[in-house]
Structure 1
Amino acid sequence: MSSSAGEQNRIHGRSRLASAALYLGLQMLVALIAMACFSLPLPAPPEKFALNPVSRIAAGGAEQTVDLPDFSSPKGDEAEIRYRTQFTYSPGAGPWAVFLPRFLVDAAVLVNGNEIGNSGVGLSAGKAQLNLPLIATIPSAVLKTGQNQLDILVRADPPISKHLEAVYAGPESELRPAFNTRTKLFVVLPQIFSAWRVLLGLILAMIWASRPLEYDYGFLTLALLVGAGRLAFLDYNSAAALPYIGMLVVFESALFVSFAYAFLGRKQPGWQPLLFLPGVLIPLLSLAGGDTATKFAFLLLGPPTVLFQAGIIAVILARAAIAGGGKETYIFGSAMTIIIVTVLHDAATLMNLLPGPKYYFSVQAYSAMLIACGILLAARFVQALRKIDGFAQQLIVKIAEAEEKLKQSFAREEARKRAEALSAERERLMRDLHDGLGGQLVRIVALSEQDHEGAVPTGEAARAALRDLRLVIDAMEDVEGDLLLALASWRERTAQHLRVHGIALDWQVRAKPSDLTFPDLRPWHMIQIMRLLDEAVTNAVRHSGAATISIILRTEQKAGERARIHITVRDDGRGLGEAQSNPPGKFGLANMRKRAALCGATLTIESDVYGVSVDLALPESFPNEPSPA
Structure 2
Amino acid sequence: MAAPGLMRAWCALVLLLAAWAASAGTLPIHSGHVAPGAHAQDDAHAEWRPVSLPDHWGRMRRSGVWTYRIDLGPCPAAPAGCRQAGPTGLAIPRAGSRLELWVNGHLAAAFGSVRDTGPQAGEEHSLHPIWVDISPALLRPQGNELRIVVSGGRGLLPGLSRIYWGPAAEVRPLHLARERVVVGGSVAVAWLSAMFGAAGLTAALAARRSVRPAAWLFTLCAFMWSARELMRLSLDLPGLTFEPRFAGMSLALGFTVLCGALLLLRLLQMHRRWQPPVAAAMGLVGLVLAWAYLGGRADGQRLLQWLQAVQVLATLTAPAAFWHWWRQRNPANAWLAAGCIGISGLGVIDTWRLYLTSDPMGYEHLRLTSYMAIWLLIAISAAAFIRINRAMHLEAVHKQELEREVQAQRVELEALHARERERVAATAVDAERTRIMRDMHDGLGSQLVGLLSTVQSGDYTREELAREVREAIDQLRLTIDTLEPLGDDLSSLLGQLRFRLEPRLRRVGIRLDWQVGELPGGERLGAHGLASLQRLLFEVFSNVIKHARASLVTVYAAHQGWNDANQIVIADDGCGFDPQAAHAGRGLENMRERARQMGARLEITAADGAGTRVSLLIGSPEAA
Distance in 1 between residues matched to 2:439 and 2:362, nearest whole Å:
116
Pairing partner for 1:359 from 362, 365, 370: 365
Amino acid in structure 1 at the alignment position of 2:496: S
- Distance of aligned partners of 1:87 and 1:344 in 2 relative to their CA distance in 1, 3 Å threshold: farther
**For 1:594, which of 583, 590, 596 is the aligned residue?**
590
Question: Which whole-Å CA distance do the structure 2 matches of 1:81 and 1:298 have between them?
Answer: 33
Aligned to 1:190: 189
SS at match of 2:611: strand
5+ residue gaps, structure 1, are: 1-38, 63-68, 89-95
User: Are 1:437 and 2:436 counterparts?
Assistant: no
CA distance in structure 1 between the aligned counterparts of 2:292 and 2:603, rounded to whole angstroms: 106
Following superposition, the deviation at residue 470 of structure 1 comes to: 1.7
Match of 2:478 in 1: 471
Q: 1:338 aligns to what?
A: 342
Query: In 2 relative to 1, CA 228–208 (structure 1 residues): closer, same or farther, beyond 3 Å?
Result: farther
Distance 1:208 1:107, change over 3 A: farther
In structure 2, the CA distance between the partners of 1:333 and 1:598, relative to structure 1 (3 Å rule), is closer
Q: Distance in 1 between matches of 2:162 and 2:149?
A: 7
Q: Which amino acid aligns with 1:369?
A: W
Aligned 1:457-536 pairs, distance under 5 A: 461-500=468-507, 504-510=511-517, 513-514=519-520, 518-520=524-526, 522=528, 523-536=530-543
Cα deviation, residue 433, structure 1: 0.9
Residue 570 of structure 1 pairs with residue 571 of structure 2: yes
Question: Residue by residue, what CA displacement relative to the aligned partner does 1:171-228 show, whole Å, maximum 9, x if unpaired?
Answer: 999999958963674232121233145336646766999238x987776666556545
Report if aligned partners of 2:194, 2:223 keep a CA contact under 8 Å in 1: no
Tell me what 2:95 maps to. Answer: 104
Per-residue deviation, residues 335-364 of structure 1 (Å, max 9, x unmatched): 334334433433354468254893324223
Q: Which amino acid aligns with 1:438?
A: G
Contact 1:219 1:259 in 2 (8 A): yes
Q: 1:496 to 1:152 in 2, by over 3 A?
A: farther
TM-score, normalised via structure 2 length: 0.64
- Separation of aligned partners in 2, 1:459 and 1:467: 12
Deviation of 1:597 (Å): 3.5
Please give the alpha-carbon distance, in whole angstroms, between the structure 2 residues aligned to 1:503 and 1:281. 109
> Contact (CA 8 Å) 2:257, 2:314: kept in 1 or not?
yes
Task: Name the residue aligned to 1:162.
Answer: 160
Match of 1:14 in 2: none
Give me the whole-angstrom Cα distance separating, in 1, the residues matched to 2:563 and 2:287.
87
> Does the 8 Å CA contact 1:103/1:154 hold for their aligned counterparts?
no
> 1:369 and 1:458, CA in 2 relative to 1: closer, same or farther beyond 3 A?
same
Contact 1:605 1:615 in 2 (8 A): yes
Q: SS of 2:440's equivalent?
A: helix
Contact persistence 1:51–1:169 (CA under 8 A) = no
CA distance in 2, matches of 1:316, 1:453: 113
Q: Letter of the aligned partner of 2:602 in structure 1?
A: T
Kindly indicate whether residue 436 of structure 2 is the aligned counterpart of residue 420 of structure 1. Answer: no
Q: Is the 8 A contact 1:223 1:252 kept in 2?
A: yes
User: Shift of residue 474 of structure 1?
Assistant: 1.8
- C-alpha displacement at 1:366, in angstroms? 1.0
Matched letter for residue 71 of structure 1: P
Cα 1:404/1:125, change in 2 over 3 Å: farther
Q: In structure 2, what is the Cα distance between the partners aligned to 1:114 and 1:434?
A: 134
Whether the 8 Å CA contact 2:68–2:147 is kept in 1: the answer is no
- Kept after mapping to 2: 8 A contact 1:217/1:377: no
Which region of structure 1 is more displaced relative to structure 2, 322-331 or 432-441? Answer: 322-331
- Calculate percent identity across the aligned residue pairs: 16
Aligned-pair distance for 1:334? 2.9
Describe the SS at the equivalent of 2:198. helix
Asked if 1 retains the 8 angstrom alpha-carbon contact of 2:89 and 2:172, the reply is no
Report Cα offsets for 1:246-294 as digits up to 9, x if no partner: 4654564455455555544447699996998899599869979999x94
The equivalent residue for 2:351 is 347
Seen in structure 2, the aligned counterparts of structure 1 residues 101 and 257 have a Cα distance that, compared at 3 Å, is same
Q: Where do 1:534-573 residues align within 5 Å? A: 534-539=541-546, 543-544=549-550, 546=551, 548-554=552-558, 565-571=566-572
The corresponding residue for 1:71 is 54
Distance 1:496 1:155, change over 3 A: farther
Return the offset for 1:430. Answer: 0.6
Q: Distance in 2 between matches of 1:40 and 1:337?
A: 28
Letter in 1 for 2:193: S
CA distance in 2, matches of 1:73, 1:177: 23
Instruction: Give the alignment partner of residue 380 of structure 2, picking from 355, 359, 374.
Output: 374
Cα distance change of structure 1 residues 109 and 439 upon mapping to structure 2, 3 Å threshold: farther
1:479 alignment partner, SS class: coil
Note the C-alpha offset of 1:44.
3.8
Q: 1: distance between equivalents of 2:293 and 2:460? A: 145
Q: Aligned runs of 1:385-404 on 2, under 5 Å?
A: 386=392, 387=394, 391=398, 398=405
Work out the CA distance in 2 between the residues paired with 1:450 and 1:429: 30
Secondary structure of 2:159's aligned partner? coil
Tell me how far apart the structure 2 counterparts of residues 562 and 279 of structure 1 sit (CA, whole Å).
Answer: 72
Which residue number corresponds to residue 52 of structure 1?
26
Letter in 2 for 1:513: L
Contact between 1:505 and 1:549, CA under 8 Å: does it hold in 2? yes
For 1:315 and 1:485, the matched residues in 2 are separated by 89
Does the 8 Å contact 2:67/2:148 carry over to 1?
no
Secondary structure at the aligned position of 1:615 is classed as strand
* 1:210 counterpart SS class: coil
Counterpart CA distance in 2 for 1:325 and 1:396 is 31
Q: When the two structures are aligned, how many residues end up with a matched partner? A: 547
Contact 1:137 1:172 in 2 (8 A): no
Task: Give the 5 Å matches for 1:17-166.
Answer: 42-45=16-19, 52-53=26-27, 60=40, 71=54, 77-78=65-66, 102-105=93-96, 126=124, 128-129=126-127, 132=128, 157=152, 160-164=158-162
**Structure 1 289/405 Cα, relative in aligned 2: closer, same or farther at 3 Å?**
closer
Shift of the alpha carbon at 1:492? 1.3
Contact 2:40-2:148 within 8 A present in 1 as well: no
Secondary structure of 1:360's counterpart equals coil
Q: Note the C-alpha offset of 1:596.
A: 3.6
Structure 2: gaps spanning 5 or more residues: 1-12, 43-51, 79-86, 114-121, 236-240
| Larger mean Cα displacement after TM superposition, 548-557 or 476-485 | 548-557
Shift of 1:312: 3.0
Q: SS at 1:424's partner residue?
A: helix
CA 1:440–1:607: 2 relative to 1, 3 Å? same
1:587-626 equivalent positions in 2, closer than 5 A = 591=587, 594-600=590-596, 601-606=601-606, 612-620=611-619
Q: Specify the SS of the correspondent of 1:339.
A: helix
The one-letter code matched in structure 2 to 1:52 is: T
Backbone CA RMSD of aligned residues: 6.1
Distance in 2, matches of 1:507 and 1:597, equals 26
Asked whether the equivalents of residues 56 and 354 of structure 2 are also in contact (C-alpha less than 8 Å), the reply is no
1:622 deviates by 11
Shift of 1:306: 6.6
Counterparts of 1:595 and 1:317 in 2: how far apart (Å)?
Answer: 85
Q: What residue identity is the alignment partner of 1:567?
A: I
Mapped contact 1:244–1:283 kept (Cα < 8 A)? no
Shift of 1:242: 3.3
SS in 2 for 1:513: coil
Displacement of 1:398 in angstroms is 4.7
TM-score, normalised to structure 1, is: 0.64
Determine the structure 2 residue equivalent to 1:21.
none
